[in-house]
With several copies, the nearest count.
Chain A
C-alpha cells in the first residue's frame, strides 16, 4: 500500500491549501459563526468549492465528478480542517455522494449526483439514535404499506441535518436495516436544529408517518447492513483526515506561540518541560499521519483489512487531537481560554469530531474484536 501521496492527491492538497488560506481562514469560520445564518456555512463559498471540483471528488465522471477517490477527498478535508472551514463537504460530498454512487439506482444517480457535484444539493445521513455512536438501528422503523414505506421514530445528532435538502434515512424493516431518501420538506418530517459547541450544525429529526414511495428506496430493502458499515467506515476515514488537519494546525499554532511568547525574559519554548511535551505531541502526530494516509488509501486499494485500519485511524487521531487541543490551550496560558485566540476553536472541534462516528474507546473495542480478542 502506498503511504506516500499520489500526484493527484498532492495537487488537490496544494489547490485546497491555497483556497483555504485565501477564502476560508479561521476568520471565515468566525464570521459564519457570529452571523445570524442558521445553516452554519456560507453558500457562496460552498459554490466556489464545488466549482473547484471539491464536492465531486467521490462522484464518477459521468455524473459530473472527478472520481479521485478517498485519498483525494482526504487531503482536501485535511486542509479544510486546518482552517475549520464550515461546509457541507463531509455530509454531502463524502457520505451522500458515496451512498448514491454505491447503491443508487440509475435514475437516483442521474437526479442527485450531478446536483451534488455542482453544489446545488446538500444531503445528510439520519443514522444515530442516541448521544453515543451505535452502529445498530433499533428505534426508527419503516413499515410497508402497499408499495410505499411509512417511517416513524426519531434520529439524533444528524450532521448537517439542520439544512440538508435530501435526507438519507436508515430505518429498521422486517429483516434488517434499509435506506430511504426524503426531501427535507416532506410531510411527516420535523427538524429540530441545534448548534453544537464547535458551531456546526446538527439536528434531531422526528419522522411521523413519513411516506416513502418506491423510487425513494435506496438499495435493497433489508439489505443495507453491509453498505451502512462500508459508508460508516468511509465517513470515519474522511473525518479522521479532517481531524488530522485540525490537529496539525493546532499543533503548529501552539509551537509558533511557544517561539514568540516571552516570560521571565526568555521565550517560553525554551522551557524543557514544554519542549518534551511538544516533542511527544509531534511523535503522536507522526503516527497519526501514517494511520490516516493508510485509512484513506486502503479503500482505493481495496484492502481486506479496511475496518481495522479505519478504527486505528479514528482512535489514534481522536486521542491525539484531544491531547493537542488540551495542551495547546494550556500552553497558550490565559489567552488560550479567550475567544479572541484560535486555539480554543480547535478544542471545541476536537471534542465533537472525536465523539461522532465512534469515539476512541469505541474504536479500540472494535479493533480488538476484529483482531480476534
Chain B
C-alpha cells in the first residue's frame, strides 16, 4: 500500500467519523459558515464541523503546520478534496481570509504577523474583508486616496473604501492606503491590517439591483492602526496587492463553474437542461424548442470546456510548481462572462416565471434565480472588470504593444 493509498483510507475514516450528520446534507442558502467574532451558526453541527476541521488545519489543507495549517502535499490535498466530495461534506468555512489574505500573508508577512493572524483565519476566529476600491478608483485601483499618516507607533487612517464585502459583519479589514503622497502612483501605497472594532471605522451597506446588500462603504476617520499591522515594507503595498488580486481572481473564476459538474456527468443531463425542462415543451426527454436547446448545449459545452481547462492548467502547474500564472486572467474573464450567459439562458427558458420580485406564484428557487441573475451582472466587474482582464491578456500574455 502506497503512502497515498494509506492517506486516502485514513482520511476517509476520519471524515466519516468526524463529519456531523447535518454537514453531509447539501448546502442551504443560509447554511454557510463565515466565522468571526460574531459568527452565527444556523445549526450547531456547523460549529462542530468548523472546530474539528480547524483544529486539524483542514480548512487550509496545504498551509504550513507551524501556523495551524494542514501541511498536506498537492496529492494529499487532492485526495482530501475527492473524499470530501465523495462523502458530500459541506465546505466548513467561507472566508476571504482563507481565499485571499492568507496566501498573501504567507508570502509577504513577517513571522510575527503570520503567527498572529494565520491560525485565526484557519479556525475562523476572525472574519476579514477587503478594503481596496474607492469611489473614484475602480479599475484604476492604484489611484486610491485613503491616507495613512505615521504618528508614533501608529498610523492614523482617513478616507473611504467601497465594495467592502460584508464589512458590517467583519472583524478586520485588509486595506491599501496611501503612505507616500509624493511617490509615483504605485510606489506610495502600503498594505495595512485594520481592526474594525473602533470608533474611527464605520460601515454603510450598499443596496444592489438584486435588492441585497453584500457590500458596504467603509469610512475611516482618524482610525488608529498599530505599526505592527503594516504588512511588507512601507510604500511597497502594491506588491502584496497584486499577489492578492491573483488569488481573488482565481476564486472568482470558479464561480462560472456552477453548472459544469452536472454537465460533465453525461447522460444524467445538465442542470440548465433539467431546469429548462420544467418550463418548456419536452418530447422523449428532448427539449422541443431547438433554438433554446442549442443555446443550452452551447452553454453546457462551454462549462465542460472551461472545467477541462481549469484541470489542464492545474495539472500543468503541478509539474512546474509555479504560483498563480497569467492564465488566471483567462479564468476570471471566462468564468464571469460564462456565468452571466448561463443566467440569461435560464431567464429565457423560464420566461415570466424567472422575472418575479415578490407576491404572485413564484417558488423560492425561482425568486432566487431572478436575484442571482441580477447578482451575476457584478461578476464581470468585481475583482477586475472583464475589460481589465482583456487588457492584461493582450499585454502580458500576448505581448501586444502599449
> Interface of A with B (CB < 8 Å)?
2-4, 128, 130-133, 156-157, 192-199, 202-204, 255, 258-259, 262-267, 269-276, 278-280, 282-283, 286-291, 293-294, 304-305, 308, 312, 315-316, 326, 329-330, 333-334, 336-340, 344, 347-348, 351-352, 355-356, 359, 361, 364-365, 367-373
Instruction: Note all chain A residues with C-beta closer than 8 A to B399.
Output: 259
B360 touches A361 (CB 8 A): no
Give chain A's interface secondary structure class. helix
* Interface 0/1 of B327-354, CB less than 8 Å to A: 1001001100000100000011011111
B312 touches A293 (CB 8 A): yes
B339 shortest CB reach to chain A, Å: 13
Choose from B302, B393, B402 the contact partner of A287 (Cβ within 8 Å): B302
How many residues of B sit at the interface, in one of the four size bands? 35 or more
B305 touches A276 (CB 8 A): no
Report if A131-B398 is in contact (Cβ < 8 Å); known contacts: A334-B162, A370-B267: no
B385 touches A270 (CB 8 A): no
Closest to B262 in A: A371
Kindly state the separation between the CA atoms of A156 and B279 in the bound complex, as whole angstroms.
Answer: 14
Instruction: Note all chain A residues with C-beta closer than 8 A to B390.
Output: 273, 275-276, 279-280
29 A-B pairs in the complex with CB atoms less than 8 angstroms apart: A4-B315, A131-B279, A131-B351, A131-B354, A157-B352, A194-B358, A197-B374, A262-B136, A264-B143, A269-B400, A269-B401, A274-B400, A276-B387, A279-B389, A283-B333, A293-B308, A334-B133, A337-B208, A337-B381, A344-B209, A344-B374, A344-B377, A368-B273, A368-B296, A371-B263, A371-B268, A372-B268, A373-B269, A373-B286
B273 touches A340 (CB 8 A): no
A275 touches B391 (CB 8 A): yes
Residue from the set B274, B377, B380 with the largest chain A CB neighbour count within 10 Å: B377
A195 touches B359 (CB 8 A): yes
Residue from the set A271, A278, A288, A333 with the largest chain B CB neighbour count within 10 Å: A333
Instruction: Note all chain A residues with C-beta closer than 8 A to B248.
Output: none
Closest to A341 in B: B209
Closest to A261 in B: B138
Beyond known contacts A274-B400, A275-B395: 16 more, CB 8 A cutoff: A3-B312, A196-B355, A204-B360, A259-B401, A264-B139, A269-B401, A272-B391, A279-B391, A283-B393, A287-B305, A334-B162, A337-B210, A348-B209, A359-B348, A371-B263, A371-B270
Closest to A315 in B: B301
Judge whether B285 is part of the interface by a CB distance below 8 angstroms: yes
Judge whether B266 is part of the interface by a CB distance below 8 angstroms: yes
Judge whether B311 is part of the interface by a CB distance below 8 angstroms: yes
Kindly state the separation between the CA atoms of A74 and B231 in the bound complex, as whole angstroms.
Answer: 49
Kindly state the separation between the CA atoms of A32 and B231 in the bound complex, as whole angstroms.
Answer: 49
Choose from B274, B301, B362 the contact partner of A194 (Cβ within 8 Å): B362
Judge whether B306 is part of the interface by a CB distance below 8 angstroms: yes
Kindly state the separation between the CA atoms of A266 and B401 in the bound complex, as whole angstroms.
Answer: 9
A203 shortest CB reach to chain B, Å: 8
Nearest 7 A/B pairs, CB to CB = A194-B360, A275-B394, A131-B351, A344-B209, A3-B312, A373-B273, A132-B351
B210 shortest CB reach to chain A, Å: 8
Instruction: Note all chain A residues with C-beta closer than 8 A to B286.
Output: 368-369, 373
Choose from B282, B360, B377, B387 the contact partner of A202 (Cβ within 8 Å): B360
Judge whether B364 is part of the interface by a CB distance below 8 angstroms: no
A330 touches B381 (CB 8 A): yes
A244 shortest CB reach to chain B, Å: 13
Kindly state the separation between the CA atoms of A266 and B140 in the bound complex, as whole angstroms.
Answer: 10
Residue from the set B351, B382, B389 with the largest chain A CB neighbour count within 10 Å: B351
Instruction: Note all chain B residues with C-beta closer than 8 A to A316.
Output: 301, 305
Kindly state the separation between the CA atoms of A199 and B137 in the bound complex, as whole angstroms.
Answer: 32
B360 touches A4 (CB 8 A): no
A287 touches B400 (CB 8 A): no
A359 shortest CB reach to chain B, Å: 7
Residue from the set A131, A133, A192, A373 with the largest chain B CB neighbour count within 10 Å: A373
A338 touches B206 (CB 8 A): yes
B179 shortest CB reach to chain A, Å: 21
Kindly state the separation between the CA atoms of A373 and B274 in the bound complex, as whole angstroms.
Answer: 8
B309 touches A361 (CB 8 A): no
Report if A197-B398 is in contact (Cβ < 8 Å); known contacts: A276-B390, A287-B309, A337-B377: no
B357 shortest CB reach to chain A, Å: 5
A365 shortest CB reach to chain B, Å: 7
A308 touches B266 (CB 8 A): yes
Instruction: Note all chain A residues with C-beta closer than 8 A to B296.
Output: 368, 373
Instruction: Note all chain A residues with C-beta closer than 8 A to B380.
Output: 330
Closest to B162 in A: A334
Instruction: Note all chain A residues with C-beta closer than 8 A to B304.
Output: 291, 312
Instruction: Note all chain A residues with C-beta closer than 8 A to B330.
Output: 282-283, 286
Judge whether B163 is part of the interface by a CB distance below 8 angstroms: yes
Kindly state the separation between the CA atoms of A287 and B138 in the bound complex, as whole angstroms.
Answer: 29
Instruction: Note all chain B residues with C-beta closer than 8 A to A278.
Output: 394, 398, 400
Report if A279-B393 is in contact (Cβ < 8 Å); known contacts: A199-B357, A263-B140, A291-B308: yes
Instruction: Note all chain B residues with C-beta closer than 8 A to A128.
Output: 352
* Interface 0/1 of B366-402, CB less than 8 Å to A: 0000100010011011100111011101110111111
Report if A361-B279 is in contact (Cβ < 8 Å); known contacts: A194-B361, A270-B401: no
Kindly state the separation between the CA atoms of A5 and B370 in the bound complex, as whole angstroms.
Answer: 38
Instruction: Note all chain A residues with C-beta closer than 8 A to B206.
Output: 338, 340
B209 touches A361 (CB 8 A): no
* Interface 0/1 of B284-309, CB less than 8 Å to A: 01110101111011101110111011
Residue from the set B163, B395, B400 with the largest chain A CB neighbour count within 10 Å: B400
Q: Which of B124-180 contact A (CB under 8 A)?
A: 133, 136-140, 143, 162-163
A242 shortest CB reach to chain B, Å: 16
Choose from A274, A333, A355 the contact partner of B138 (Cβ within 8 Å): A333
B140 touches A275 (CB 8 A): no
Choose from B301, B361, B378 the contact partner of A312 (Cβ within 8 Å): B301
Kindly state the separation between the CA atoms of A364 and B395 in the bound complex, as whole angstroms.
Answer: 33
A339 touches B400 (CB 8 A): no
Instruction: Note all chain B residues with C-beta closer than 8 A to A334.
Output: 133, 138, 162-163, 378, 381-382
Instruction: Note all chain B residues with C-beta closer than 8 A to A365.
Output: 291, 293-294, 297
Instruction: Note all chain A residues with C-beta closer than 8 A to B389.
Output: 279
A168 shortest CB reach to chain B, Å: 19
Q: Which of B39-58 contact A (CB under 8 A)?
A: none
Closest to A269 in B: B400
Kindly state the separation between the CA atoms of A361 and B315 in the bound complex, as whole angstroms.
Answer: 31
A190 shortest CB reach to chain B, Å: 12
Instruction: Note all chain B residues with C-beta closer than 8 A to A264.
Output: 139-140, 143
Report if A340-B207 is in contact (Cβ < 8 Å); known contacts: A156-B352, A276-B394: yes
Instruction: Note all chain B residues with C-beta closer than 8 A to A197.
Output: 355-357, 370, 374
Residue from the set B285, B293, B312, B348 with the largest chain A CB neighbour count within 10 Å: B312
Kindly state the separation between the CA atoms of A156 and B347 in the bound complex, as whole angstroms.
Answer: 17
